Each structure stands twice: as structure tokens, then as C-alpha cells.
């Protein structure tokens, strides 16, 4: 069905372009025809002028000749006789005593139309230079206006299809996410039942605590997927504690060769956020850093406040990112891994920028041996006045992981 709709849409677009092309072609033909008629009119005028010269010698001026000469009130013209005397008609503010000013319109008229010679007794007595009338000058811009309309029309179609495709993909991802949440829910319920059975069997409580943490985590993941496509609720939250809790959970589930250090100010930082989505962002970026260091290296997480904006900097000593890819890594589907969907950082960008009015970007990257990659995202602090502009990248000082500060 979708394929048929696409074919019908492209047929409609093609027909529209054909119709507009036909209109343009007919406009061009009309313009050429109009110019031909204009020249015929001027040739008749030149014949009338020659007839007038002859009539003055015979003292017998025809009314038709006078009518032809009098009726041309739209075409600008300059007439130069064999003695260099100049007459002009339908040209405003032209002074014939200034040769530079008179030569300019003559050159212009010569470029627009071929001059017409006026003969008397088989001798050229005058040369008529004429320009395009106002109607022709306006018609010249008509094809340009039509082309602009075509371009606007094509742009509208392009953006319509692009937005339609994005909307369809968003609906697909939302549906998949909600279905995943639904599928996770059933085994989760069973796992919770098994936990209760294990408790009754007096299993080591330390094991049960860790299992319950993982089950709680699965519940959170299920909630995240279920909330995709819905507007998240933002609540005032202790960002320092939430970040620490998210990192603590990750640190117990990564290799011992991965060192994660968290630096934060003594002052507890609060912000209007959604807990589940924020934790998801932390996980995505930390996992991306773990991939960058290939499971063996250092990750520094630093939380700070700058100009009423909370800034989280995540730095690793991984392989680095090319500068040309600083923005691309946040595009859906972009990945440098052999296996991966390329959705983690894309989701993080959407969570931070669309849902929290923040900003996420790569601040810098070095690609020489033990390179450092900084990923920085900013969130509005809840005391900032509404409408305060997002923190700019220039506000942030580059953070490098030196040997002394490396965790």
C-alpha cells in the first residue's frame, strides 16, 4: 500500500513539473512573439517617419502617417539623423546636450533590439534605436518568478516527504519500543515471583540484593521504552545523587580494567529532569566511552555549574573521534562499530535537547595514541529565568585527561 502511495505521489509530482514546464515554454514563445510584433510596430513607425519626411517636401501630410507617429506612446526610442541631431520619445529625464548620458541608452537599446534604418530616396537619413516597452520588461521577469515558484513547490514537496518519512519512522520506533516494554513485562513478573521463592529457601541475601537490583533495572528499562513517544514529566531532582547512583550501578557491572571517577562540587546540584531518561543518557554515553577505550582505560565524569547552567563532562582516553564526525555521531544509525544500531547517542541527544532544553556535543577529541574525547551536555538549572539562552560551547574550557588526573 505504501509503495502504491509513493508511486502515485511521484506521478503527481512529475505531472506538476510537466505542466509548469509547458507554462514556461509557452511564456517564452509568447515573449518572442510579442517582441516580433513590437519590432513590426517600430518598422511601421519608421516607414511613417520616412513618409513624413517625404510629405514635408511635397507639402502633403497624410492623416494616417500622423496617426501612426502619434499612437506610439509606450516604446522608448532615440532617433539620430545623418547630421548627428538627436530626437527622443517616451524617455523621461534625458538631456541630449550630455553625450555620455545619451550614449548610455543608445548602447542599451542596441543590445535589446537591432536598430532600424530610415531611408529616403534610397539613402539612410536617420537611425532609430528603440528599447523594450514596459510590458516586455515586466514579461522578462515572469519566467524567473515562475522558476522561483517551481523551486518553492519542489522544496515544499521535499520537506513534506522528509517530515512524513521521519514521522513514520518515529511511529515505528515508538511502536517497537512499547512492544518491547510489553514483552519485557511478562518475564519480569515471573522473575519477581522466583525471587520470593528464593527468599523462602534462605539463599544468601547478598545474591538476592544484586538480583533485585537487576530486576529493578529491568523495570526501569521497561518504563523507559514505554514512555517513548510520550512527553516526559520533569521533576526537581538532586542531579548529583542521581548521577552518582547511575554510575555506581554501572561500576559494579563493568570490567575491573575500566576506571570510572566522578567529580562533583560540594554543593548539591538540582535540576528539573526526568530521572529515567537522564539515567538512560548517562548509561548510553558511559557505554560509548567503554567501547572507545575497548574495555581497558579511564573515564572521568565531572559535574559542575557554570552561569546557572549545570554541565556534565564525560572524558575518556579512548581512540578518539575525527572532527568531521563531531556532529555525525549523534545522527540516528551512525556507528563506527561492526555491530550496533547507532541509536545510543542519538537517543541521548533527543533526551537532552528535545525533552530537557539542553545541549549535547563533542567538545574536543585527540587522536594520537592515548587520546581524549570529551562529551559535554548542559541542562537548565531550575533557577534560571525562562527563555535564558542555552550555554554556548565557548563557555566551556577544554578538559584534558592528564597523567596526574587520569583515574
Specify the DSSP class assigned to residue 397. Answer: P
Shortest CA distance to 357 belongs to which of 303, 310, 305? 310
Q: Which one of 3.30.565.10, 3.20.20.140, 3.90.340.10, 3.40.50.2300 gives the CATH number of domain 232-395?
A: 3.30.565.10
Residue 211's pLDDT is 80
Distances (CA, A) of 312 to 246, 247, 251, 355: 13, 13, 18, 17
How crowded is the C-beta side of 161, counted as CA atoms within 13 Å? 12
Three-state secondary-structure class, residue 257:
coil
Instruction: Please give the Cα distance from 325 to 272 (Å, whole number).
Output: 31
User: pLDDT by residue (tens digit) across 131-153?
Assistant: 887 777 777 777 777 778 778 87
Domain 2-132 fold is Beta-Lactamase (3.30.450)
- Gap between the terminal Cα atoms of the chain: 56
232-395 shares the fold of 2-132: no
Residue pair 240/271 in contact by the 8 Å Cβ criterion: no
**Residue showing cell 545510543:** 344
Q: What Rg do the C-alpha atoms of the chain give, in angstroms?
A: 39
Give the chain's residues under pLDDT 70. 1-6, 8-9, 55-62, 64-65, 94-100, 173, 177-179, 181-182, 186, 224, 227-229, 336-342, 366-407
Cell numbers placing 407: 583515574
pLDDT at residue number 240 = 92
Q: For the chain, what are the domain ranges?
A: 2-132, 137-208, 232-395
Amino acid at each position: 500500500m505504501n509503495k502504491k502511495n509513493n508511486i502515485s505521489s511521484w506521478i503527481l509530482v512529475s505531472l506538476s513539473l510537466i505542466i509548469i514546464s509547458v507554462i514556461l515554454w509557452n511564456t517564452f514563445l509568447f515573449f518572442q512573439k510579442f517582441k516580433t510584433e513590437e519590432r513590426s510596430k517600430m518598422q511601421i513607425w519608421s516607414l511613417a517617419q520616412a513618409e513624413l519626411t517625404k510629405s514635408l517636401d511635397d507639402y502633403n501630410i497624410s492623416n494616417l502617417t500622423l496617426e501612426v507617429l502619434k499612437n506610439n506612446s509606450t516604446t522608448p526610442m532615440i532617433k539620430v539623423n545623418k547630421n548627428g541631431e538627436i530626437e527622443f520619445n517616451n524617455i523621461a529625464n534625458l538631456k541630449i546636450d550630455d553625450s555620455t548620458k545619451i550614449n548610455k541608452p543608445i548602447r542599451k537599446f542596441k543590445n535589446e533590439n537591432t536598430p532600424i534604418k530610415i531611408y529616403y530616396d534610397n539613402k539612410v537619413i536617420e537611425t532609430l534605436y528603440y528599447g523594450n516597452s514596459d510590458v516586455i520588461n515586466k514579461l522578462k521577469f515572469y519566467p524567473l518568478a515562475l522558476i522561483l515558484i517551481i523551486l518553492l513547490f519542489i522544496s515544499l514537496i521535499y520537506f513534506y516527504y522528509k517530515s512524513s518519512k521521519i514521522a513514520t519512522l518515529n511511529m515505528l520506533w515508538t511502536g517497537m519500543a512499547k512492544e518491547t516494554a510489553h514483552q519485557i513485562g511478562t518475564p519480569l513478573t515471573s522473575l519477581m515471583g522466583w525471587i520470593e521463592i528464593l527468599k523462602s529457601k534462605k539463599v544468601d541475601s547478598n545474591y538476592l540484593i544484586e538480583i533485585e537490583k537487576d530486576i529493578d533495572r529491568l523495570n526501569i528499562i521497561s518504563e523507559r521504552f514505554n514512555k517513548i513517544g510520550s512527553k516526559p514529566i520533569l521533576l526537581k531532582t538532586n542531579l548529583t545523587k542521581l548521577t552518582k547512583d547511575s554510575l555506581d550501578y554501572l561500576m559494579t557491572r563493568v570490567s575491573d580494567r575500566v576506571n570510572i571517577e566522578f567529580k562533583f562540587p560540594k554543593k548539591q546540584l538540582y535540576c528539573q529532569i526526568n530521572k529515567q531518561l537522564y539515567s538512560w543518557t548517562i548509561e548510553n554515553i558511559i557505554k560509548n566511552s567503554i567501547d572507545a577505550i575497548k574495555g581497558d582505560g579511564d573515564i572521568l565524569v565531572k559535574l559542575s555549574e557554570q552561569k546557572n547552567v549545570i554541565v556534565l563532562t564525560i572524558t575518556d582516553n579512548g581512540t578518539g573521534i575525527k572532527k568531521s564526525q563531531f556532529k555525525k555521531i549523534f545522527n540516528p544509525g551512525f556507528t563506527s562499530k561492526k555491530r550496533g544500531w547507532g541509536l545510543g547517542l542519538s537517543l541521548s541527544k533527543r533526551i537532552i535537547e528535545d525533552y530537557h532544553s539542553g545541549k549535547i556535543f563533542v567538545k574536543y577529541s585527540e587522536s594520537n595514541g592515548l587520546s581524549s574525547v570529551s562529551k559535554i551536555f548542559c541542562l537548565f538549572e531550575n533557577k534560571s529565568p525562562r527563555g535564558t539562552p542555552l550555554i554556548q560551547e565557548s563557555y566551556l574550557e577544554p578538559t584534558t585527561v592528564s597523567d596526574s588526573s587520569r583515574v
